[in-house]
Amino acid sequence: MPAQPPYRRVLLKASGEALMGEQGFGIDVSVVDRIASDIAEARSLGVEVGVVIGGGNIFRGVAVASKGGDRVTGDHMGMLATVINSLALRTSLIKIGVDAVVLSAIAMPELCESFSQRQATQYMDAGKVVIFAGGTGNPFFTTDSAAALRAAEIGADALFKGTQVDGVYTADPKKDPTATRYEHLSHLEVLQKGLAIMDTAAIALARENNIPIIVYSIHEKGGFGDILKGEGRCTIVAD
């Protein structure tokens, strides 16, 4: 009999760039479909899933600020990009029969529901995949921080950070063949070593709320499910 996953409820953070596949910009629907199928597998294992998606495949606020524009407006544009990505993921999930809802930190009732912690937990209790759009709803934050925040709010047992590689390495494994993967790190070690897993605000929030961060490759089909089953490669950040 397959072992029961150790996690009952998780928050998955995917960067916007994960959605663009081989393209240099935007959304590759086949990649979103694949991520949706990984989430479907997690649901079939009985794990409740919340998702935060970034917007970097479409827009980042710093792009405006770096050209002398208003950072706050740039960040608003970035947050809107996360809504586009969230709607894309919901579409892919619904297509394969996974009940999913988008809750946005910025009210846009014609497109999706607004975020509230109570509504989010009710939907998750009912087995829906909840996609948290609009980041934190505030400029000067990132979707990493939004992921740690929502993970704390929904009482997630773990925060899954889907990245380009299968964990945290001692050096960039694409450049340094001697780089080795950490099996385990504490939140404090991540902060002290300055390891760029997520921004420091996100790590600190996860640490304060005792939420383990699982760093794994979002590009491996079935990778999410494998780790939920206690298989697969990853780095676990936990105190």
- Using rule CB under 6 A, residue 162 touches ligand UDP: no
Nearer to ligand UDP, 62 or 96 (CB): 62
Q: Is 141 a binder of ligand UDP (CB under 6 A)?
A: yes
State which H helix or E strand residue 190 sits in.
helix 187-193
Residue 56 within binding range of ligand UDP, rule CB under 6 A = yes
Residue whose pair of structure tokens reads 């959605």 in the numeric block: 19
* CB of 149 or CB of 236, closer to ligand UDP: 149
Q: 60, 128, 187, 229: which one contacts ligand UDP (CB under 6 A)?
A: 60
What is the SS3 assignment for 157? coil
User: Residue 230 has which token pair?
Assistant: 């206690």
Scan residues 181-220 and list those touching ligand UDP (CB under 6 A).
none
As given in the structure block, the two tokens for residue 166 are 């299968």
Q: Locate 148 and state its tokens.
A: 């740690």
Residue 5 or 32: which CB sits closer to ligand UDP?
32
Which range binds ligand UDP by CB under 6 A, 28-36, 43-51, 76-84, 96-104? 76-84
- Using alpha carbons, select from 78, 71, 75, 89 the residue that is nearest to residue 29: 89
Residues flagged as binding site for ATP = 13-16, 56, 60, 163-164, 169, 172
Is residue 28 part of the contact set for ligand UDP (CB under 6 A)? no
Q: How far is CA 135 from each of CA 15, 43, 148, 222, rounded to the nearest angstrom?
A: 12, 23, 11, 26
Give the C-alpha separation, 108 to 215, whole Å: 32
What are the residues binding ligand UDP (CB under 6 A)?
15-17, 54-56, 60-61, 74-75, 78-79, 81-82, 135-136, 138-139, 141-144, 146
